[in-house]
Homo-oligomer: A and B are copies of this chain.
């Protein structure tokens, strides 16, 4: 339909939201902040650009409205958009990408003081508590039958469970790590070799041995 840049996964994320209902760009940005951004985080500026690309590809329609004297644009998916979305869903996408500056800092802990590393590990726990708060609130809403998209509850349950377990994992790891770091000497080369901790790690990883 055009020689426009090809669709990216971010395009499909926006297209997916439009398949649920029409949104203004501002609402799309909010939605990314509050929910979709937890599994597909993107900068605000991109959220405002993507719908325009979808329109150029014929996958969405833009409707200009007026709120007082201020214009706003509401986007809706087209039939071709629904087909394109379905085609994307037919091919499993990439697996999870993890990127964690805090883990990087733990990885290079020998160049820091144990106190610094402890602070980093505690920051990881605080992050998990904060993220868990919003996720728990959303889960309780749906449990009470009060979520905004009751017809999507089956899908949301799957994603919500992943996030719940993920935040929990970060917190439990941080607690365990903090206990170890508290007993670290200043020179990490002198740290006691934690044979049983390694054995436990290996045990936990052996699930994939058939």
Binding site for B on A (CB under 8 A): 9, 12-13, 16, 19, 36, 38-41, 82, 85-86, 88-90, 92-112, 116-117, 119-120, 122-124, 127-129, 131-133, 135-136, 139-140, 142-143, 151-162, 164-173, 176-177, 180-181, 184, 188-189, 191, 193-195, 197-199, 201-202, 204-209
- How many Å lie between the Cα of A98 and that of B181 in the bound state? 25
Which residues of chain B are near A152, meaning CB under 8 Å?
110, 188
**Residue pair A102, B109 in contact (C-beta under 8 Å):** no
Stoichiometry (number of copies): 2
| Interface CB pairs A-B, < 8 A, 18 | A19-B110, A39-B100, A39-B104, A40-B99, A41-B98, A90-B112, A92-B120, A93-B105, A95-B124, A95-B127, A108-B155, A154-B184, A155-B188, A157-B198, A161-B177, A165-B172, A168-B205, A169-B169
